[in-house]
Amino acid sequence: MNILVSAGPTREYFDSVRFISNPSSGKMGYALAGEAARRGHHVTLVTGPVVLEPPRGVRVVRIETAAEMAEACKETFRKADAAFMTAAVCDYRPRGRVGHKRAKKNARLKVVLEPTEDIAAFLGRHKGKRLLVAFAMEDHDPHVHAERKFHKKNCDLIVLNGPANVGRDRAEVELFSPETGWTGPFRGTKAQVARRLVRAVERLQARQVSRSR
């Protein structure tokens, strides 16, 4: 399969040096990209700024902003068979970025935020027979909110994780699909979780092929 993996954070600038972001390490996405490549898939990793070395055999597209992430993911998804949307894309960006460093003043600085594009939802609307795996980070009514995201984004599988997983080498996740309902929790290193997720998508793809015969 041709597989798209998005990973890491985005940076949303309000002047030439200052930005809002989040603490995503990209470890889950990089683990998925590495596992998929090891299993013989052709992988494109669209990654925000992280301090990780890319896995071997993976095509890497580096981005900074949510808009750049959206453009790269849309372009890559055109030729993909499946996508893992693990990136922690900022939900908001400052409106009216200035091209220079704002001088520090005693007055308060007001920054107006506007929503960024929901990339996974866009891919879901245009996926056709391609497979889409989204991630939901929730800590309040997690199953309810994750299932809402599943339907909103038109996913084939959604992975529920929590804020405690951010930046760590281990993860605890649950999976939801219409065929199985909720399964898990699954605990292990992010490499072990990635192995489970790649195999799950391989099974979904095999099921699609079988149905089309």
Most confident of 78-82, 93-97, 106-110: 78-82
The band of 165, judged by pLDDT with boundaries at 50, 70 and 90, is confident
Q: Are 16 and 99 in contact (CB under 8 A)?
A: yes
3-state SS assignment for residue 48: coil
pLDDT class for 159, splitting at 50, 70, 90? very high
Are residues 158 and 133 in contact, defined by beta-carbon separation less than 8 angstroms?
A: yes
Nearby residues of 83 by Cβ (< 8 Å), 6 or more positions away = 3, 4, 5, 6, 73, 77, 123, 130, 131, 132, 133
Confidence of residue 100 (pLDDT cuts 50, 70, 90): confident
Three-class DSSP category at 67: helix
Q: Is 165 a catalytic residue?
A: no
Structure tokens that stand for 41 in this block: 């898939």
Distance CA 112, CA 117 (A): 16
14 or 83, greater pLDDT: 83
* CB-count burial class (<10 Å; 0-12, 13-18, 19+) for 181: exposed
Percent of the chain with pLDDT over 90: 80
Q: Classify burial at 146, counting beta carbons within 10 Å of its beta carbon; exposed 0-12, middle 13-18, buried 19 or more.
A: buried
The chain-wide mean pLDDT, for the chain, equals: 94
Q: Please tell me the predicted confidence (pLDDT) of residue 95.
A: 92
Contacts of 130 (CB under 8 A, 6+ apart): 77, 80, 81, 82, 83
Lowest mean pLDDT among 22-26, 32-36, 103-107, 206-210: 103-107
CA-closest candidate to residue 66, choices 87, 45, 44, 85: 87
CATH numbers and ranges of domains, the chain: 2-91+111-212 (3.40.50.10300)
Choosing from 2, 22, 106, 165, the catalytic residue is 22
Task: Please check whether residue 97 is in contact with residue 14, taking contact to mean a CB–CB distance below 8 angstroms.
Answer: yes
